[in-house]
Amino acid sequence: MRERAREALAGREAWVVGGAVRDELLGRPVVDLDIATRDPAAAARAFARRSGGAPFPLSERHGAWRVALPGERTVDFTPLADGIESDLATRDFTVNAMAQPLAGGDLVDPFGGRRDLGAGVLRAVAPGIFEADPLRLLRAVRLEDELGLRLDAETERLLVGCAHLVWRPAGERILGELRRLRPAGWARARELGLVPDNPRFDRLELVDSPEFRLVCGLGERLLELPISRGLERYARTLLQAEPPPDRSPRSIHRLRRRTEPWTLEALAYVGAPGDLADLVREARVRDRRRPLVRGDELGLPPGPEVGRLLELIEEEVAAGTITSREQALELARRRAR
């Protein structure tokens, strides 16, 4: 990506900035590039022609453009108005406030980001970074989590003082940061007062899933964010889940009817004993057998009543009270409305 950008922007002032410089110094894979240049729109189009990517405006307000490439890689082009050092002064943390000339040359590091990387420190570029963009509150925790860094004392003091601003950014941006947190990152966010003290918080390590951690970490607060319909169904299923009253096949069946396909996650969320998960797995294996009857064999017109009777038959099969097609049809005849 860098070589193609160098060819496309030959003769223009352009700098590789931010995370790409940081990750290269850390020996991490560089997946995305952020290039500061005088005319981001023209630069993006020139790079897209050479790379075959798709250019589009990323922020009309700030004049940034993005080129999307195969493999979910991106190259962002941001405005360079008053020189590279002025640009770096607007960044969040010193480790993200470094730049290298796209054409090649020495590292520009006015705030000591390379030194902080070596010391494992995450330090604010300026005291007002969190007021300028409160999403940086969560980004600080995420960078600690991903890069193995630690906030210096002054930056942590600034963060805690601005923790009340954490819900101000757009919900999509908040979700983007929270999805990337691992359990240790969630614990750090709670320690710093950035997420609510949900009573299920201590269970977020039980399932290795960003969605499960979102529910455990935020609880009902998750439903206030602009989540997808699928995530909303998943969250409501877990939030409303209750352990079965006993280990009987009938209780396991009713639990599954309320919570599948997420019954195992629901059991983890409510803190149910591990042997219940084994019972659920055994019940799922039994599900693969051919049903005793089909809806069109009940002798009723299509509609809700057919579904109700089939559910009734399924429960009695799970409970072991009926085992044959004849018994299933007899039950349907007796219980039909």
Transcribe 158-176 into DSSP letters: HHHHTGGGTT-S-HHHHHH
Q: At what angle do helices 135-147 and 183-191 cross, to 10 degrees?
A: 130
What's the CATH number for 120-195? 1.10.110.30
Mean pLDDT of 11-40: 90
Residue 288 has pLDDT above 70, yes or no: no
- For the chain, what is the largest distance between any 2 Cα atoms, rounded to a whole number of angstroms? 85
DSSP E strand boundaries for the chain = 14-17, 33-37, 54-59, 64-69, 73-79, 99-101, 121-122, 150-151
pTM: 0.84
Pick from 155, 220, 150, 212: nearest CA to 182: 212
Please provide the average confidence, as pLDDT, over all residues in the chain.
90
Q: In CATH, which of 3.65.10.10, 3.40.50.720, 3.40.640.10, 3.30.460.10 is domain 1-112?
A: 3.30.460.10
Contact 321, 248 (CB under 8 A): no
Q: What is the DSSP letter of 107?
A: P
- pLDDT above 90 for 146: yes
pLDDT at 293: 80
- CA distances (Å), 227 to each of 79, 132, 206, 235, 250, in order? 31, 25, 22, 10, 34
pLDDT beyond 80 at 265 = yes
Is it the case that residue 337 has pLDDT exceeding 90?
no
Indicate if the pLDDT at residue 60 is higher than 70. no
Residues of the chain with CATH 1.10.110.30: 120-195
Residue 194 CA to residue 166 CA, distance in Å, equals: 6
Q: What is the pLDDT of residue 125?
A: 97
156-186 pLDDT per residue, tens = 999 999 999 999 999 999 999 999 999 999 9
- Provide the terminal-to-terminal Cα distance of the chain, rounded to the nearest Å: 68
